[in-house]
């Protein structure tokens, strides 16, 4: 018979070796998590920037087209009814039905809103307006959304002298962190208010 004793080395990890091992794992885990978090932030930043650009372009296209066609109302009122830094009321045939709708653009919270009022049977625009959101994430705060110019491109607040309207939209999906504000601006010549020279 073979009576040979097999000896097993029963030495394990010391407390110091375990602490070093855990420390290395924590450092590697922290570095990996930081890398993952930065990747998510980068992707989110890109998505938010893309959304801001989309919202700004969509808003300015809609507003521009409708303001460009401002015309006398069905009851003969002047094409522009009210002008302010962050609000405008005008008349325009937005659905090509031969009747002028009364449109009001304004900022409500962080939304660009449009109220549309049909002329009604007596052409008095007394029917209830239909409201809809045109753009989101508006961050103009106290900055003007609309700027009004006369035929010499000088700013004016005289409603009958306005021949061009500047629109400046500032968009920020997450104003409390990056990305920063995204600006879109355009100037609109009012085709039905050109001066006869």
Residue-wise pLDDT tens digits, 126-156: 899 999 998 888 888 899 999 999 999 999 9
pLDDT bin (cut points 50, 70, 90) of residue 90 is very high
Residue 113 has pLDDT above 70, yes or no: yes
User: What is residue 51's three-state secondary structure?
Assistant: helix
For residues 132 and 145, the answer to whether their CB atoms sit within 8 Å is: no
Residue 197 has pLDDT above 50, yes or no: no
Torsion over CA: 25, 27, 30, 36 (sign): negative
Residue 98 has pLDDT above 90, yes or no: no
What pLDDT is recorded for position 179?
Answer: 65
Mean pLDDT of the chain, nearest integer: 85
Any idea where the domains of the chain sit in the sequence? 40-193
Residue 8 has pLDDT above 60, yes or no: no
């Amino acid at each position: 018979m073979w009576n040979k004793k097999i000896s097993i080395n029963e030495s394990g990890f010391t407390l110091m070796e375990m602490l070093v091992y855990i420390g290395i794992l924590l450092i590697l885990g922290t570095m990996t998590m930081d890398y993952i978090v930065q990747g998510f932030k980068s992707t989110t930043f890109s998505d938010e920037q893309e959304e801001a650009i989309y919202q700004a372009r969509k808003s300015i296209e809609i507003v521009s087209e409708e303001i460009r066609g401002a015309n006398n109302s069905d009851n003969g009122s002047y094409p522009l009814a009210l002008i302010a830094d962050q609000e405008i009321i005008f008349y325009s045939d937005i659905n090509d039905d031969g009747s002028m709708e009364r449109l009001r653009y304004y900022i409500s919270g962080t939304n660009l809103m449009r109220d549309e009022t049909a002329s009604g049977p007596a052409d008095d625009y007394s029917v209830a307006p239909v409201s809809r959101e045109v753009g989101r994430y508006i961050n103009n705060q106290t900055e003007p959304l609309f700027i009004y110019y006369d035929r010499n491109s000088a700013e004016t607040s005289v409603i009958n002298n306005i021949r061009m309207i500047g629109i400046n939209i500032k968009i920020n999906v997450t104003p409390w962190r990056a990305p920063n504000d995204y600006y879109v601006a355009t100037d609109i010549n009012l085709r039905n208010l050109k001066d006869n020279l």
